[in-house]
Amino acid sequence: MQTETDIASDPGHSDRQPDGNSTLPCKELPDPKRIRVLLAHYFQHFHTLRCFAFIHKTSFLQKLDDDLAARAHNKSSLLHMMCSIGAQFYALEYSETVEQFPPKTILAAGSQWAATARSLLLGSFDQISVENLMTAQLLYDYSLRMANYTQAFMLSALMTRMTHALQINLEYTDDILGHHVDSNSLSVTARESRRRLMWSCYITDAQCGSGVDQLMLLEDKDIKIQLPCDEQNFLQERPCITRMLSGSPLPFVPVDLVSANSTNTISIAAYFIQHIEIRKRVLKYIKHLDQASLPWLPDSEFHLFDDELQTWHSSLPAEIQFTPSVIYLRKESNELGALALLHCAYYQTMCDLYRLGAPALYKLRSAFYFPPEQDQFLRHLQLSLFKAARSIAAIIADAARHGPAMVADTWLPSITYDSNRIMLYYLTIIFNPSDQGTKHLVINTIPYLQSNVQALKMMSATNAVAEDMYHASHSMLEKLGVASDSISPQPQLVLDDPYLANFGAGRDSTPGTPSQTAPDYVLNPLSIFRMARSDIPERHAPEKTHNTPIDTGSSSAALAAPGHNDQQDSNIDQGQAFGPNLDMFITPNLIWDWQPMETAVGSGMNSEGLLPWVDTSYTSYVGDFIS
């Protein structure tokens, strides 16, 4: 008797290739049984990632049965997109349990259905509907997954305009609990679905904007809907009253209906949305340091953001904390990926805030000058930056132990890669090589570096960009005398960053402040906008014009992981900034303003060169210590 696995083993009626791998090339959707298998993988693995749970599962499946009976399903762009994503996760699970596939084969699964979804969506470009907006959101994430960043960037604009036209930034009615439902009104479930879709578009807009007002099309003040309710209430179609992004209830909800514990009814996605709002302001602050107060002042913007972030994180309820019991609980509810991303996002934002203490690492515009009397504060920034990067590695390692689907979000490869860059920067430049605790620190940091590399290798099956980052990270560790799975010292090291070093080669520019401002100057070269711009052959490039330099001369506890303990933190705290001015470590041709590793992009960048902070005379001691 044929099992569901047997039925699903070829969900696209695919032909077998000479190498034995199924690439699911069929353009038409498969038969209904296989469609249901693909949708099961979609809802199990993708639906709860980030903020994509805007499709009500039972309602959708009920409608699908009607469409299948009427043979209308082949015209649905949303169904094609869901099957395409489901096919990738099906191929991923099949590769893990039955027959191993190369990452590119897994990525290619369902690609024809994604192409059909794109054609159907663009063919109905003038038909603005919730279903088309859902399709666009899924196609946007798929484009990121396939490293098609120009398409993702353009889709982000389409989505925001569709939200404006649909007005899903406003509550459909003030009858939140659905007490007065009539035949002409939307159901409580449909209204919650619209809210979730709006918040998903909000996150997309924030991701593309990266703290640059010019690139963001959605204003926080214009989003006047409540945060998503928890998954069980959504699935069971139970109406809930939550709160708005500001923390206040909707103004028209009667006071007697607002429960004191209404925050207990919000989902993991709601906490992620809250964090993204804080993150947007942090990134905007980092991009305007010339207008900011000195960070060591007690009332500075830095301290306000630091307090706000730590207060937000410490206030997370127990069922959202990243603890062993919660990890298994969320895995059971298919929410472990969302939980891991939530905590990784927090520590990534902490890295972005604390990089004030490592301007050479990110090539910050208008970096602060730290006078000698602020050495202790500077060391605090650098140590906190390192701890946050190490915490990211611990979270990724814990999540990855439960399978590649748990680390499949499109933001995670760049977060993981940045974690390694920060830890290597701290070990090779900031930490004092003559300190007695250095060897202990290096030895105990190696597992974090290695687990990040292995996680990137795992992520390459669901994110095209992760493969290049894996090879680049692996190369950096080898040049540091550390293999991904063993330790082998190398003398006279030259630490390279094959992924970032020569990006943008041939784009002449002069340092300082450009005569004209543009988002190019305040975004990471690997941001969605910068990579989309790099594909435009006739792009205007004001960065090539001469400019005048700016004069700026005056102007959290880590998670438990193998090798980490309080004594280790004590040893880390003994680290000292050392050596000559860090400017000497910046390669002259790297003139970008390094910004946070937002969704990193691009592939095929295999050229090698020095990291912007590295001097060869300061790297060999790492190999000596681990020998």
Tens of pLDDT, residue by residue over 364-399, are 778 899 999 999 999 999 999 999 999 999 999 999
Q: Which of 6-15, 523-532, 599-608 has the lowest mean pLDDT?
A: 599-608
- Residue 97 has what pLDDT? 94
Q: What size, in residues, is the chain?
A: 627
- ∠ CA 457-412-204, rounded to 5°: 140
Neighbours of 293 (CB within 10 A): 16
Q: Residue 590: is its pLDDT beyond 50?
A: no
User: Which of the residue ranges 34-38, 125-129, 152-156, 426-430 would you say has the lowest mean pLDDT?
Assistant: 426-430
Report whether pLDDT(301) > 50: yes
- What is the DSSP code (8-state) at residue 527? S
d(CA 280, CA 213): 10
One-letter amino acid of 161: R
Mean pLDDT in residue range 114-138 = 95
Q: Rounded to the nearest 10 degrees, what angle do helices 375-400 and 336-354 cross at?
A: 160
Q: What is the pTM of this model?
A: 0.80
Residue 440 carries which side chain, given as an amino acid letter? H
**Two tokens at 606?**
């295999």
More confident residue, 421 or 563: 421
Stretch among 385-399, 458-472, 589-603 having the lowest mean pLDDT? 589-603
Q: What is the mean pLDDT of residues 310-322?
A: 95
- Return d(Cα 268, Cα 66) in angstroms, integer: 32
| Mean pLDDT of the 110-134 span | 95
Mean pLDDT of 488-505: 35
Mean pLDDT of the chain: 78
Q: Does residue 620 have a pLDDT over 70? A: no
Q: Using 50, 70 and 90 to split pLDDT, how confident is the model at 434?
A: low
574 class by beta-carbon count within 10 Å (0-12 exposed, 13-18 middle, 19+ buried): middle
Segment 147-193, tens digit of pLDDT:
999 999 999 999 999 999 999 999 998 888 888 777 678 999 999 99
State the DSSP string of 36-68. HHHHHHIIIIITTSTT---S-HHHHHHHHHHHH
Give pLDDT, residue 20: 36
**67 or 315: which leads in pLDDT:** 315
Count of CB atoms situated within 10 Å of the CB of 214? 11
Give the angle subtended at the CA of 146 by the CAs of 475 and 457, to the nearest 5°: 30
Q: Considering only CA atoms, which of 340, 367, 458 is closest in space to residue 103?
A: 458
Q: What is the mean pLDDT of the segment spanning 46-52?
A: 92
Residues 50 and 202: their CA atoms lie apart, in Å, by: 12
pLDDT band at 543 (very low <50, low <70, confident <90, very high): low
**pLDDT of 516 above 90:** no
The pLDDT of 587-606, averaged and rounded, is 33
pLDDT of residue 273: 97
More confident residue, 481 or 322: 322
Residue 213 is predicted with a pLDDT of: 82
Quote the distance between the C-alpha of residue 101 and its chain's center: 25
pLDDT of residue 534: 58
- Is the separation of the CB atoms in 503 and 602 below 8 Å? yes
Burial 328-344 (b: 16+ CB within 10 A, else e): eebbeebbbbbbbbbbb
What phi and psi values does residue 513 have, to the nearest 5 degrees? -100, 125
Residue range 438-460, pLDDT digits in tens: 778 888 899 999 999 999 999 99
Mean pLDDT of 513-541: 55
Domain ranges of the chain: 23-174+187-240
Whether residue 605 is predicted with pLDDT greater than 50 in this model: the reply is no
Region 346-371: what's the mean pLDDT? 90
DSSP E strands, 119-271: none
Residue 71: the pLDDT is 75
Residue 205, C-beta contacts closer than 8 angstroms, at least 6 positions apart: 156, 159, 160, 216, 217, 218
Burial class (CB in 10 A: 0-12, 13-18, 19+), 263: middle
* % the chain with pLDDT above 90: 55
Beta partners for residue 548, in sequence order: 513
pLDDT computed for residue 523 by the predictor: 56
Report, as an integer, the average pLDDT of 266-276.
95
Choice between 19 and 197, residue whose per-residue pLDDT is larger: 197
Name the band, by pLDDT with cuts 50, 70 and 90, for residue 524.
low
Out of 160-164, 259-263, 550-554, 568-572, least confident range:
550-554
- Backbone phi, psi, residue 229, to 5°: -80, 175
User: Residue 16 pLDDT > 70, yes or no?
Assistant: no
Summarize the confidence of residues 531-537 as an average pLDDT: 58
The percentage of residues in the chain with a pLDDT greater than 70, rounded to a whole number, is: 70
Q: What mean pLDDT do residues 506-532 have? A: 50
User: How does pLDDT run across 214-260, given as a tens digit for each residue?
Assistant: 888 899 999 999 999 999 999 999 988 999 999 888 998 887 777 65
